[in-house]
Structure 1
Amino acid sequence: MTAADASLDPVPDGPPAPVLAFRDDALGTDDAVALLARLKAGEVSAAEVARAAVERIRAVDGRLNAMRVEAFEAGTAPVPGDGPLAGVPTLVKDNTTYAGLPTGHGTAAFTPRPASRHAPFTRQFTATGMTVLGKTRLPEFGFNASTEFEDAEPVRNPWNTEFSAGGSSGGSAALVAAGAVPIAHANDGGGSIRIPAACCGLVGLKPTRGRMAANETGRSLPIDVVVDGAVTRTVRDTAAFLAAAEQVRPAPELPPIGRVEGPGGRRLRVGLLLDSPTGTVTDDVTRAAVTAAATTLEGLGHRVEPYRMPLDARFEEDFVTYWGMLAFLAGATGRLLMDRRFDRRRMDGLSQGLRGQYLRQWRSTPGVLRRLRRAAREGYEDAARYDVVLSPVLAHTTPRLGHLSPAVPFPELIARLKSYVAFTPVNNVCGSPAISLPGPGRTPDGLPVGVMLSGRIGEERTLLEAAYELEAAGS
């Protein structure tokens, strides 16, 4: 079931009505591909579509709190553009530089000023022709798996506003799921595309490292774990976005994806990974969704085999140490890279906790980097026996707001995060692609449950072809 199909009426004694923006306007219930067809046919104009998206954002954001910066003037007088996705309204996540708009990175440690130029990925993203209407919220520096703050309202899940929209691309995911825009920018350094996609019932593909234009910060890191992409409501929109991004900026070092328009004919060997390679046991609701997806794939003729990834027992702690190094660098370079008034004392509890933990063990950094690279390489090589690996996105269902708040004492919060974000980081360290899809059914609280397909480096096409099959089967 898509967001457009959901009833606005609450279920008696069940979850509350979702916060949805779908209405009889220029956007209708279209995804980006259907909208493009109507734009090209002249049935609607880019200006009409942009104005409709602005009105939808205004209608729902008071309850979702997903917008960080508005740029609605683009909706009243959009510049006619070209590009394969010309006229589709979208949003940019507020950790990516967009000329003329401030970039706040989700932190209260400084007051951002308008940027003078686009980041490299922003140039690629805007070259597709989409109309950018503003920027979306993220947790501080994208470190958290829920878009929550110590001193501000959290981003809320449109399916049930008492629950998390995920993180770190929570603002983008909430507005796409609500129907305000069909597609929005997201990026992923440990699951930050796939986690909010799972929480909000969306499609979220983390591309192969190098598939998208890399930003300056990532290129300077010893392991570039972050890659940009988008969240959408349909597999075909994600496929269209990847094709458009590849058209305006190819990645010659990787196999081309091209336009993927449906399932592939090849039957795949699928590894079924139910419990995390870090040892975390998956909860019953999530396990049932992934098992149902496996049954669907088997019914479609794919060969599904139980799989357990051999991963160094220290991987989890090493990844947290690397995470802490990023928090340390954010605090240490904030005045140089963000604003001279940056005050690291105002960083939130999660960032401070990660930073403090790293400072106590920074001498271990060379060994951590060596082990992460080795573990990711060995885990990837083992999983590459399969065409795809099917797994949960997260080890348990979406938590209520507050469970992952940065105000939770750090030792408790980091333990909660490790028991939740137990599947996604391996792809970031080894650079392989992975896609989150809505699994079958909903939780008793009305929330989606995500399932994940991981693939070999450069083989996003295989993931998309398998994702089309699962989507068509309703799994």
Structure 2
Amino acid sequence: MEFHEYLEYDAVGLSALIRAGHVTAHEVETVARQALALANESLNALAAPLFPTALRHAAGAPFTGVPFLIKDAGPMAEGIGFHLGSRALGPGVPAGRDSDLMRRFRAAGLATLGLTTMPELGIAFTTEPVRTGPTRNPWNLAHSAGGSSGGAAALVAAGAVPAAHASDGAGSIRVPASCCGLVGLMPTRGRVGCEPMFGLSHDFVLTRTVRDAAHLLDALSGTVPGARFAPPAPARPYRSELRADPVRLRVAVTTEAARGTDPEVAAATDRAARTLEEQGHHVERDRPPADPEEIVTALVAPQIAFLTGVFAHAPRPPDPALLEAVSRRVFEEGAVLRALDLVAAFEAQERLCRMAGAFFGRYDLLLTPTLARPPVPLGVLRYDDPSYSVAGWVRELLEYGPFTALYNITGQPAISLPLGRDSAGLPIGVQAVAPYGREDLLIQVASLLTPPPAERYSPGLWPWARRKAR
């Protein structure tokens, strides 16, 4: 396989080539390793050296041999050391066994080659950990790739892999998708069987095409017996929704944010709303009446409790001197966290869920920007700043990304679509949110709104690819 050919294919396309015998999985992996090495020189998006060989994966599966990456926070893969973006875990803590999600990735045939960067503990909408240094946006190396799945987003956007694992506790799939011009689907809570952080965090993948998102959701979804959250099964495969037109929809659209929304970002959302209106859907201005402070209350105590619990199982307590400032606050506040703080958080979550349920009783779809502004320059969001409390840091994030976190709390599916660029050429994402369990509707709408990938990606687009071509 030629280098420029590899860059042209999404995961579905590569899988079809391998199954047809036009190229071997070994040839694809060889080119992917070259692409990853070259891209990483510019992007700094790998959390550790690539694995010597791809992790074991199923033969004859839908994505057998397709190159893939997992985030430095897991899914846990047996024998692999994870760092959670932190120096405090030294060379990494090896996983004793595969997590459920890792078993799904293996069963789908995905050839996992390495770990992607993330901010320390994953509590940031940028990926600039002290441990590895900043991960850069392939559209402009001076700007953030987003977070917390920033390394995954940078390498998928650069074409080094067609898809990579991402997780989303307040926007960490959708935010980097917006920053890097990708499709970022956060499935319904429990759709892929994982419920970390008290159900607030959702796992899936970042892709360059809606087609890949649909096919990968077919391959990875399924509930775990006895799980607390078990969304309804789809009526048909998600890939079937790529060709389906939605029935006439009731669509709400908002671009309102407490600190304002960049005009170019708002304009991208308004264009998407007009497109749906021109196709016969009913569109009106409205938004869920969520109190931003209630969202902060619903997020902070569960985040603190979850993260301190994760480190409680580490071989040794984290050295505070090796933690970044907000991480130190997580452990300081975790030491005095009360059960009543968690009760207050869960009560806030219940109120927000009921509010969203009433709102989506009136509407089939909500359109918003993904972020309030285009990707920020590196250094703007300063996780290693000792002036922040954990709640203060979360408020800072939600000023930059005020549209995403509510749906982690309500468990609804949401998707960020690459539907614009600002005057500097940086990507702008538009978020679509559907009622609980309605990923089918998101895929239908995404297929209508998203331009073909060839219009946004071409071989040699990035400097590292041009170097290889020469």
Q: Is TM (by shorter chain) over 0.5?
A: yes
1:214-253 pair list within 5 angstroms: 214=194, 218=196, 223-246=198-221, 253=231
Q: Deviations over 1:146-201 (max 9, x none)?
A: 01123541111011010000000001000000000000000111001000000000
Offset at 1:246? 3.0
Aligned to 2:101: 121
Following the alignment from structure 1 to structure 2, what is the Cα–Cα distance between the partners of residues 135 and 60?
14
Query: Mind listing any 5+ residue stretches in structure 2 that lack a counterpart?
Result: 457-470
Provide the alpha-carbon RMSD of the alignment: 2.6
SS in 1 for 2:48: strand
Following the alignment from structure 1 to structure 2, what is the Cα–Cα distance between the partners of residues 107 and 338?
13
Matched, 1:156 2:136: yes
Match 1:184 to one of 164, 177, 182: 164
Following the alignment from structure 1 to structure 2, what is the Cα–Cα distance between the partners of residues 447 and 326?
31
Match 2:248 to one of 248, 262, 267: 267
Matched, 1:342 2:309: no
SS in 1 for 2:47: strand
Following the alignment from structure 1 to structure 2, what is the Cα–Cα distance between the partners of residues 275 and 229?
28
Aligned to 1:170: 150
Following the alignment from structure 1 to structure 2, what is the Cα–Cα distance between the partners of residues 370 and 242?
31
SS in 1 for 2:406: helix
Aligned to 1:195: 175
Aligned to 2:466: none
Q: Deviations over 1:281-333 (max 9, x none)?
A: 222121111111111111222211111211235313314533xx523553465
Write the letter of the residue equivalent to 1:339. P
The answer to whether the 8 A contact 1:124-1:245 is kept is yes
The answer to whether the 8 A contact 2:295-2:406 is kept is no
Aligned to 2:329: 353
Matched, 1:368 2:345: yes
Offset at 1:463? 0.4
Aligned to 2:66: 88
Aligned to 1:67: 46
Offset at 1:439? 1.6
The answer to whether the 8 A contact 2:47-2:115 is kept is yes
1:426-437 pair list within 5 angstroms: 426-437=406-417
Query: Mind listing any 5+ residue stretches in structure 1 that lack a counterpart?
Result: 1-21
348-357 vs 131-140, greater mean Cα deviation: 348-357
Match 2:118 to one of 133, 138, 163: 138
Match 2:430 to one of 451, 459, 462: 451
Offset at 1:415? 4.7
Following the alignment from structure 1 to structure 2, what is the Cα–Cα distance between the partners of residues 361 and 114?
29
Matched, 1:52 2:27: no
Offset at 1:110? 1.7
SS in 2 for 1:69: coil
The answer to whether the 8 A contact 1:70-1:133 is kept is no
The answer to whether the 8 A contact 1:68-1:136 is kept is yes
The answer to whether the 8 A contact 1:150-1:406 is kept is no
Aligned to 2:448: 469
Offset at 1:253? 4.4
Matched, 1:286 2:262: no
Following the alignment from structure 2 to structure 1, what is the Cα–Cα distance between the partners of residues 133 and 2?
26
Q: Deviations over 1:7-51 (max 9, x none)?
A: xxxxxxxxxxxxxxx973552411111212211211111111111
Matched, 1:399 2:380: no
Seen in structure 2, the aligned counterparts of structure 1 residues 267 and 410 have a Cα distance that, compared at 3 Å, is farther
Seen in structure 2, the aligned counterparts of structure 1 residues 433 and 24 have a Cα distance that, compared at 3 Å, is same
Offset at 1:88? 0.9
Following the alignment from structure 1 to structure 2, what is the Cα–Cα distance between the partners of residues 79 and 317?
40
Aligned to 2:460: none
Following the alignment from structure 1 to structure 2, what is the Cα–Cα distance between the partners of residues 381 and 419?
25
Following the alignment from structure 1 to structure 2, what is the Cα–Cα distance between the partners of residues 397 and 134?
29
Following the alignment from structure 1 to structure 2, what is the Cα–Cα distance between the partners of residues 176 and 310?
35
Q: Deviations over 1:203-262 (max 9, x none)?
A: 0100001101226xx2xx5x4101110000000000010011137989964232512332
The answer to whether the 8 A contact 1:49-1:88 is kept is yes
Aligned to 1:295: 274
The answer to whether the 8 A contact 1:158-1:174 is kept is yes
* TM-score normalised by length of structure 2: 0.87
Write the letter of the residue equivalent to 1:373. E
Structure 1 runs of 4+ aligned residues shifted over 4 Å read 77-80, 247-253, 354-363, 412-415
* TM-score normalised by length of structure 1: 0.86
